[in-house]
């Protein structure tokens, strides 16, 4: 499975020492150069399962930059170029553009649900609480209720 990620989901999981969930679920995760640079602002070193790949079409990145930040635009272009099975992205505008561009997406809540289904975490609620407390993660009350219901933790 080919997975490409934007910055925020990886950063949030690394903040709470749960970055390994991505490795355990997907093996490796591709990130574009802009995401690598953004992550290195906050983290001294990046996990080995993150593989940086340069986008091949900067013109497509510039087209998307009219709507998105550089990391989001590069992640969408890289997902298309790598024929990714999934793009990990949480920002609403980025998700809208990715869907419009035909890129399949998953958010951090989807990752947590998958991790629980595969027995990698015991409680989605506990991970969400840590994300909110330690990574300044923001989640709407509606999405939180939906996620916890899907996890059987409502």
**Do 103 and 87 contact (CB within 8 A), yes or no?**
yes
Task: Round the CA-based radius of gyration of the chain to a whole number and report it.
Answer: 15
Look at residue 151 in the predicted model and tell me its pLDDT: 96
Domain match, 36 and 65 both: yes
**Do 71 and 8 contact (CB within 8 A), yes or no?**
no
The band of 154, judged by pLDDT with boundaries at 50, 70 and 90, is: confident
Domain match, 98 and 37 both: yes
- Number of structural domains (the chain) is 2
Token readout for 29 is: 């995760």
Structural domain including 20 reads: 3-108
pLDDT in tens, 94-114: 999 999 999 999 999 999 999
**Do 64 and 44 contact (CB within 8 A), yes or no?**
no
pLDDT in tens, 109-139: 999 999 999 999 999 999 999 999 999 999 9
Look at residue 60 in the predicted model and tell me its pLDDT: 97
Domain match, 40 and 62 both: yes
Domain match, 56 and 11 both: yes
Indicate the pTM of the whole model.
0.94
**Do 147 and 109 contact (CB within 8 A), yes or no?**
yes
Kindly report the CATH number assigned to the domain that includes residue 68.
3.40.50.1010
Nearest residue to 111 via CA among 32, 1, 36: 1
Domain match, 83 and 139 both: no
Domain match, 114 and 83 both: no
């Amino acid at each position: 499975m080919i997975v490409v990620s934007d910055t925020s989901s990886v950063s949030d999981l690394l903040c709470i020492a749960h970055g390994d969930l991505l490795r355990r679920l997907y093996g490796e995760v591709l990130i574009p150069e802009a995401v690598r640079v953004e992550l290195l602002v906050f983290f001294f070193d990046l996990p080995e399962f993150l593989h940086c790949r340069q986008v091949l079409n900067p013109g497509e990145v510039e087209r998307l930059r009219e709507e998105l930040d550089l990391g989001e635009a590069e992640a969408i272009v890289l997902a298309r170029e790598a024929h990714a099975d999934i793009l990990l992205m949480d920002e609403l505008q980025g998700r809208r553009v990715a869907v419009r561009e035909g890129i399949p997406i998953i958010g951090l809540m989807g990752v947590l649900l998958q991790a629980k289904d595969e027995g990698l975490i015991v409680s989605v609620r506990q991970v969400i609480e840590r994300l909110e407390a330690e990574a300044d993660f923001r989640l709407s009350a509606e999405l939180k209720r939906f996620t916890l219901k899907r996890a059987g933790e409502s």
